[in-house]
């Protein structure tokens, strides 16, 4: 067996498995062992599915022996606990779904299972994907492997940490306002939010349906492209999934950016951005220029309204989506003396404080008399934000921004101040509002803490942003650095 001490990427694993230098069972045991070692420190998983993983690994080895292996056959992955996995507890890190076992697989799981993956566990998250630090998990917070006293970002914090701490080869997350990209940036891994409609949301527990999108968290850009190849595509069970053909994303991985026009939107280099982050971004801009890109400052003047728009639209949709947790159909159920008591206690005990805050905000914004002033107004500004992106992409191939204005903050630092927590997503929210794709890739460190660079493209231009990401990655070494724990 080949020594895989530091773990493997998807593409390295594929080669080792295909050449029979390692078996999927050996690979899976390596990761399960690593999980045993580091999990007490980082706590990335709500559930570790070791038995299932070994069963899937044995099956993968048979397929490899029969010459039927694909790129993901036998590769250990983590899945954010908001994605339905048939027969495996899917909690959304909420007491409400603590014992919920889905009777069906999400579309992405059908695709990954058909590709022969090994699922080693379900990843911790902010409850119902509401948060930016994974501290809102009803079970326990997840810790950043680069500094265990700091947050990993959120809401896909468990997914990002499982990759950054070498517990899995890659993971899936979901992104409603930044929940893949922000933790990817905080943990120094690659995270992509695809175009809205690119990946089916069937079987993704809904938070804000017009913003939610599933995407990969990986160690490098090549793996991101490989996973995108598998999870993308039309699905008639998700009416917002778009019937566009899926290109081979690995074809766009080129190292030359000659003539590419990249916009630097000045509104993203916000006041309050840490100087260390700004220095990292300046160096990144220079590197992109060296690679042949033409960088110019651009303006997206409605950007400062994105945060307000998001925190009206997302809670509004959440308040409607979360109405289904009534203690009758599934999930936690309180049995009291009256229907009202059942409802009140089910929702009162089942949801945590942030979820309740969002439900109240959303219910208020949608209520008669306030609907026009809040929800309708937010939808109008949403259109303006989208139009602004369309316009800037007439002239530019992609936009370059920091993923977050700061490095990972300390656990507990922002829990009493929801507004300052919301601010950590200023750079990621606009892409969800407009439905455009974005990726965060490792771009450097400030005092040992990771900084992510975000690349945003127009609708269905995943190939373009992957190309920029790959060229930058190949010209730098940030993605090779591993957290030592």
Q: Please identify every residue annotated as catalytic.
A: 80, 155, 179
Question: Which pairs from 326-335 meet CB under 8 Å and 24+ separation?
Answer: 330/97, 330/100, 331/96, 331/97, 331/100, 332/95, 332/96, 332/97, 332/98, 332/99
The span of 6-14, 123-131, 244-252, 336-344 binding ligand GLN (CB under 6 A) equals 123-131
Contacts of 51 (CB under 8 A, 6+ apart): none
Q: Which is nearer to ligand GLN, 157 or 327 (CB)?
A: 157
Q: Which is nearer to ligand GLN, 35 or 205 (CB)?
A: 205
Shortest Å, Cβ 260 to ligand GLN: 28
> Over the chain, what HEC string results?
CCCCCCCCCHHHHHHHHHCCCCCHHHHHHHHHHHHHHHHHHHCCEEEECHHHHHHHHHHHHHHHHCCCCCCCCCCEEEEECCECECCECCCCCCHHHCCCCCCCCCHHHHHHHHCCCEEEEEECCCHHHCCCCCCCCCCCCCCECCECCECCCCCCHHHHHHHHCCCCCEEEEEECCCCCHHHHHHHCCEEEECCCCCECCCCECCCCCCCCEEEEEECCHHHHHHHHHHHECCCCCCCCCCCCCCCCHHHHCCCCCCCCEEEEEHHHCCCCCCHHHHHHHHHHHHHHHHCCCEEEEECCCCHHHHHHHHHHHHHHHHHHHHHHCCCCCCCCCCCCCCHHHHHHHHHHHHCCHHHHHHHHHHHHHHCCCCCHHHHHHHHHHHHHHHHHHHHHHHHCCEEEEECCCCCCCECCCCCCCHHHHHHCCCCCHHHHHHCCCEEEEEEEEECCEEEEEEEECCCCCHHHHHHHHHHHHHCCCHHHCCCCC
Q: Which is nearer to ligand GLN, 25 or 189 (CB)?
A: 189
Q: Does 437 bind ligand GLN (CB under 6 A)?
A: no
Shortest Å, Cβ 101 to ligand GLN: 23
Shortest Å, Cβ 318 to ligand GLN: 8
The span of 9-17, 56-64, 125-133, 289-297 binding ligand GLN (CB under 6 A) equals 125-133
Shortest Å, Cβ 91 to ligand GLN: 15
Q: Does 73 bind ligand GLN (CB under 6 A)?
A: no
Q: Does 426 bind ligand GLN (CB under 6 A)?
A: no
Contacts of 417 (CB under 8 A, 6+ apart): none
Q: Which is nearer to ligand GLN, 169 or 318 (CB)?
A: 318
Q: Which residue is nearest to ligand GLN (CB)?
A: 179
Q: How many residues bind ligand GLN (CB under 6 A)?
A: 13
Q: Which is nearer to ligand GLN, 167 or 175 (CB)?
A: 175
Q: Does 216 bind ligand GLN (CB under 6 A)?
A: no
Q: Does 130 bind ligand GLN (CB under 6 A)?
A: yes
Distances (CA, A) of 104 to 203, 324, 327, 393: 8, 18, 20, 39
> Can you tell me which of 116, 131, 327, 362 binds ligand GLN, judged by CB under 6 A?
131
Footprint (CB under 6 A) of ligand GLN, residues 103-122: none
Q: Which is nearer to ligand GLN, 179 or 406 (CB)?
A: 179
Q: Does 123 bind ligand GLN (CB under 6 A)?
A: no
Q: Does 132 bind ligand GLN (CB under 6 A)?
A: yes
Pattern 311-340, binding to ligand GLN, x per CB under 6 A?
---x--------------------------
Q: Which is nearer to ligand GLN, 22 or 312 (CB)?
A: 312
Q: Does 127 bind ligand GLN (CB under 6 A)?
A: no
The span of 47-55, 128-136, 334-342, 453-461 binding ligand GLN (CB under 6 A) equals 128-136
Shortest Å, Cβ 427 to ligand GLN: 12
> Can you tell me which of 129, 199, 307, 443 binds ligand GLN, judged by CB under 6 A?
129
Q: Does 425 bind ligand GLN (CB under 6 A)?
A: yes
The span of 13-21, 129-137, 411-419, 477-485 binding ligand GLN (CB under 6 A) equals 129-137
Pattern 165-204, binding to ligand GLN, x per CB under 6 A?
----------xxxxx-------------------------
Q: Does 81 bind ligand GLN (CB under 6 A)?
A: no
Footprint of ligand GLN on this chain (CB under 6 A)? 129-132, 155, 175-179, 207, 314, 425
């Amino acid at each position: 067996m080949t020594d895989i001490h530091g773990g493997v990427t998807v593409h390295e694993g594929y080669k080792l498995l295909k050449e029979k230098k390692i078996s999927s069972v050996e690979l899976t045991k390596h990761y399960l062992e690593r999980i045993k070692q580091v999990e007490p420190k980082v706590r990335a998983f709500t559930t570790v599915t070791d038995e299932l993983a070994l069963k899937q690994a044995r099956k993968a080895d048979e397929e490899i022996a029969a010459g039927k292996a694909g790129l993901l056959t036998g590769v250990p992955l983590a899945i954010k606990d908001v994605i339905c996995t048939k027969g495996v507890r899917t909690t959304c890190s909420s007491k409400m779904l603590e014992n919920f076992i889905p009777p069906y697989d999400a579309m992405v799981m059908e695709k990954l299972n058909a590709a022969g993956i090994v699922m080693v566990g379900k990843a911790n998250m902010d409850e119902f994907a509401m948060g930016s630090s994974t501290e809102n998990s009803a079970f326990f917070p997840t810790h950043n492997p680069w500094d265990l006293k700091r947050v990993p970002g959120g809401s896909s914090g468990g997914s990002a940490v499982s990759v950054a701490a070498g517990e899995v080869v890659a993971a899936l997350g979901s992104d409603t306002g930044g929940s893949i990209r922000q933790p990817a940036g905080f943990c120094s891994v690659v995270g992509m939010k695809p175009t809205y409609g690119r990946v089916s949301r069937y079987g993704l527990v809904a938070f804000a349906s017009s913003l939610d999108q599933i995407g990969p968290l990986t160690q490098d850009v090549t793996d991101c492209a490989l996973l995108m190849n598998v999870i993308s595509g039309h699905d008639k069970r998700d009416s917002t999934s778009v019937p566009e053909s899926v290109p081979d994303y690995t074809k766009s991985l080129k190292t030359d950016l000659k003539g590419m026009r990249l916009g630097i939107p000045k509104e993203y280099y916000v006041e309050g951005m840490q100087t260390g982050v700004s220095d990292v971004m300046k160096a990144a801009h220079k590197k992109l220029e060296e690679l042949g890109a033409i960088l110019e400052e651009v303006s997206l003047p409605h950007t400062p309204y994105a945060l307000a728009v998001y925190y009206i639209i997302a809670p509004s949709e959440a308040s409607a989506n979360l109405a289904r947790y009534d203690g009758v159909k599934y999930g936690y159920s309180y049995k009291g003396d009256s229907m009202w008591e059942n409802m009140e206690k089910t929702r009162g005990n089942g949801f945590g404080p942030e979820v309740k805050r969002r439900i109240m905000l959303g219910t208020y914004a949608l209520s008669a008399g306030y609907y026009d002033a809040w929800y309708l107004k937010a939808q109008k500004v949403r259109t303006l934000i989208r139009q602004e992106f369309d316009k800037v992409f007439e002239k530019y191939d992609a936009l370059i921004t920091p993923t977050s204005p700061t490095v990972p903050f300390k656990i507990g630092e922002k829990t009493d101040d929801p507004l300052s927590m919301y601010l950590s997503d200023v750079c990621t929210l606009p892409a969800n509002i407009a439905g455009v794709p974005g990726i965060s890739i490792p771009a450097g460190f400030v005092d040992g803490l990771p900084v992510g660079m975000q690349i945003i493209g127009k609708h269905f231009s995943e190939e373009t942003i992957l190309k920029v990401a790959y060229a930058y990655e190949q010209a730098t070494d940030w993605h090779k650095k591993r957290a030592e724990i």
